[in-house]
């Protein structure tokens, strides 16, 4: 069991959205008397999020409001003009079904830009002195020392903690110590990019910017982020090409997206023409679910993509 000495030291490995949310949540729910000390170890030289849009559902938004970041969350979110999503035919754009939502509620569906959301979390951690934030600290190994865990970093340094929270992402070094990870290519991939909404306002034909065009073996999803200044695009396709590395940083070319969606509605094709030239390109793998997320007699726990990386089936049906 973890040592009962005080302060109780919690080490969070990974300073992305999951890691900073964990730090804020633990700080919010625990005593502020110095008995709990939190450190966040980020492998990159800065706290920076890669990627475009993120859809935060109502249940997740409730938790964020509970820990005191809800007002700022609403400030950076997009608004859907009363429509959660409008599903439409790929070729004509005609309506299949439109799902309403009351986005006037204080706690609501919150589509955000990942970088803006991470910046929000980072600012709250700093303002509350919720955790000590470290950079250039890539954790490569954990050693269970009985009453505590030793963390070993790539720079040769070590530290100890009573509890380690592994938030080190889809290629988690911490998870690999306990479970082998053999992802299987799903046959699906997606392109992601951003379009300034000011480029669309004069000709956009729908009541909301939250639209999904459904076609054979592919679909094109759009929703607004960044206070309705940006349209987030996620374009899903089937592909036999599994050579793209599973990575947040792999890129394709806009011409690839144009070719994949050349049979789609005029609105889709015109929107693609405003996308950035090199959209990100995500391969979607399937993974077996872990049978447990807690190790070391309760001293080590996995969280986020390290614990339950998003499967391709989920990505096909989520925003």
Same domain for 46 and 129?
yes
Q: Which pLDDT does position 287 carry in this prediction?
A: 73
Per the domain annotation, does 2 fall within a domain?
Answer: no
Per the domain annotation, does 245 fall within a domain?
Answer: yes
Same domain for 257 and 302?
no
Same domain for 45 and 128?
yes
| Nearest C-alpha neighbor of 115 from the set 181, 160, 54, 56 | 54
Range list of H helices, the chain: 17-29, 58-66, 70-76, 114-128, 173-176, 254-260, 266-273, 305-308, 312-315
Q: pTM for the whole thing?
A: 0.90
Residue 189, domain CATH: 3.30.9.30
Q: Which residues of the chain fall below pLDDT 50?
A: 1-3, 311-319
Q: Is 127 helix (H, G, I), strand (E, B) or coil?
A: helix
Same domain for 48 and 162?
yes
Same domain for 250 and 127?
no
Residue 43, domain CATH: 3.50.50.60
Report the number of distinct structural domains present in the chain: 2
Q: Which pLDDT does position 263 carry in this prediction?
A: 97
Q: Which pLDDT does position 241 carry in this prediction?
A: 67
Q: Which pLDDT does position 50 carry in this prediction?
A: 72
Same domain for 160 and 307?
yes
- How far, CA to CA in Å, does 189 sit from each of 226, 241, 250? 25, 9, 12
Q: Which pLDDT does position 9 carry in this prediction?
A: 98
Cβ neighbours of residue 193 closer than 8 Å, sequence gap 6 or more: 52, 233, 254, 257, 275, 276, 279, 280
Per the domain annotation, does 158 fall within a domain?
Answer: yes
Q: Which pLDDT does position 2 carry in this prediction?
A: 45
Same domain for 52 and 176?
yes
Same domain for 170 and 45?
yes
Q: Which pLDDT does position 104 carry in this prediction?
A: 87
Q: Which pLDDT does position 312 carry in this prediction?
A: 41
Per the domain annotation, does 207 fall within a domain?
Answer: yes
Q: Which pLDDT does position 49 carry in this prediction?
A: 77
Same domain for 40 and 148?
yes
Per the domain annotation, does 40 fall within a domain?
Answer: yes
Domain extent, residue 58, equals 8-79+109-181+288-311
| Nearest C-alpha neighbor of 9 from the set 43, 35, 41 | 35
pLDDT tens digits for range 48-83: 877 789 999 999 999 999 999 999 999 999 999 999
| Nearest C-alpha neighbor of 131 from the set 31, 27, 45 | 27
Per the domain annotation, does 117 fall within a domain?
Answer: yes
Same domain for 201 and 163?
no
Same domain for 176 and 220?
no
Contact 192, 222 (CB under 8 A): no
Same domain for 175 and 264?
no
């Amino acid at each position: 069991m973890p040592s009962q000495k005080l302060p109780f030291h919690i080490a969070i490995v990974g300073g992305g959205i999951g890691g900073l949310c964990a730090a804020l949540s633990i700080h919010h729910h625990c005593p502020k008397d110095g008995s709990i000390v939190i450190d966040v170890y980020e492998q990159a030289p800065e706290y920076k999020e890669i990627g475009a849009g993120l859809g935060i559902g109502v249940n997740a938004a409730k938790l964020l409001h509970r820990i005191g970041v809800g007002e700022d969350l609403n400030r950076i979110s997009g608004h859907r003009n009363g429509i959660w999503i409008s599903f439409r035919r790929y070729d004509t754009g005609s309506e299949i079904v439109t799902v309403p939502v009351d986005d006037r509620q204080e706690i609501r569906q919150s589509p955000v830009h990942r970088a803006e959301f991470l910046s929000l979390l980072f600012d709250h951690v700093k303002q509350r002195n919720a955790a000590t934030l470290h950079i250039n600290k890539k954790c490569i190994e954990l050693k269970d020392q009985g009453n505590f865990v030793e963390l070993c970093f790539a720079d040769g340094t070590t530290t100890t903690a009573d509890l380690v929270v592994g938030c080190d992402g889809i290629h988690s070094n911490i998870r690999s110590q306990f479970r082998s990870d053999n992802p299987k290519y799903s046959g699906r991939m997606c392109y992601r990019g951003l379009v300034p909404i000011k480029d669309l306002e004069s000709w956009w034909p729908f009541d909301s910017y939250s639209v999904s065009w459904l076609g054979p073996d592919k679909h094109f999803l759009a929703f607004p982020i960044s206070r309705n200044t940006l349209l987030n695009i996620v374009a899903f396709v089937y592909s036999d090409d599994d050579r793209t590395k599973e990575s947040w940083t792999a890129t394709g070319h806009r011409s690839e997206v144009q070719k994949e969606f050349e049979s789609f509605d005029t609105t889709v094709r015109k929107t693609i023409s405003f996308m950035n030239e090199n959209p990100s390109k995500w391969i979607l793998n399937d993974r077996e679910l872990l049978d447990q997320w807690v190790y070391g007699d309760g001293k080590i726990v996995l969280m986020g993509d390290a614990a339950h990386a998003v499967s391709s089936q989920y990505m096909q049906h989520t925003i």
